[in-house]
Amino acid sequence: MRSANRPVQIAIMCIFTLVLGTVLVAGSDDRASSEARQPTVVIHIASGPDQILAVERAYEMARGAMLEGRRVVIFFSQAGTQVAVRRYPPELRIDQAPPQWQQLKKLVELGARPVVCGESAHLFGIRDAEFFPDAEITNNDRAIFRISGVNATVWTF
């Protein structure tokens, strides 16, 4: 009697393994396709406050990318580190647009991730405490690549 049940047990185990494997593979495909549906856009701001048009355009591109369902990283480096500071003049704006510091705040509220190059900030004499509250300061040259992930699109302003 036991030997007759053995093939049935083996068949049940094979079916169970096949179903479990299919579920696990399907679950991993969902995660991969979810990441593929939300690519990352890095908005690299290297222009300082004296290039207000470039900064304005960078924020417009960030908004557009977010509206299109993309994850946005705003990377401030070089003179652009001066744009992400708390002391950024509130009156700096173009025409009827909101002040640029308010635009940055809104982008962060919508999910943009502000990252500041610490080396550039140091060259301009800017301390970490002077940056926009949600800014992530990195002192590692490779950190932006970990933050942005693979296949990111970069727009430099």
Which tens digit of pLDDT belongs to each residue from 20-56? 443 333 443 443 444 445 789 999 999 998 898 999 9
Determine the Cα–Cα distance for residues 83 and 71; give it in Å rounded to an integer: 21
pLDDT in the model for residue 12: 57
Q: Note whether 55 and 122 are same-domain residues.
A: yes
At 99-142, the pLDDT tens digits run 888 889 999 999 999 999 999 999 999 988 888 888 999 988 78
Give the pLDDT score at 139: 87
Q: Are residues 23 and 89 in the same domain?
A: no
Q: Which domain holds residue 44?
A: 39-156
Task: Looking at the structure, tell me whether residues 31 and 50 fall in a common domain.
Answer: no
Which residues lie closer than 8 Å to 141 by C-beta, 6 or more apart? 119
Co-location of 11 and 83 in the same domain: no
Number of folded domains that form the chain = 2
Q: What integer pLDDT is reported at residue 83 of this predicted model?
A: 87
One domain, residues 82 and 132: yes
**Residue 65 and residue 142 share a domain:** yes
Which residues fall within 8 angstroms of residue 56, CB to CB, at 6 or more apart? 94, 97, 100, 103
Q: Are 61 and 12 in the same domain?
A: no
One domain, residues 66 and 139: yes
Query: Domain check: are 32 and 43 in the same one?
Result: no
Among the residues of the chain, which ranges form H helices? 2-37, 52-67, 100-109, 118-123, 143-148
121 lies in the same domain as 136: yes
CATH of residue 100's domain is: 3.40.1260.10
Q: Is the pLDDT of residue 14 over 70?
A: no
Same domain flag for 30 and 59: no
pLDDT for 101 = 82
The pLDDT of residue 13 is above 60: no
Query: Mean of the pLDDT values across residues 66-74?
Result: 95
Q: Say yes or no: 25 and 43 in one domain.
A: no
The predicted pLDDT at position 23 comes to 39
Say which residue the tokens 């950190």 belong to: 143
CA triplet 23, 27, 33: central angle to 5 degrees? Answer: 140
CA neighbor of 155 nearest in space, from 45, 47, 66: 45
Predicted confidence at residue 24, as pLDDT, reads 39
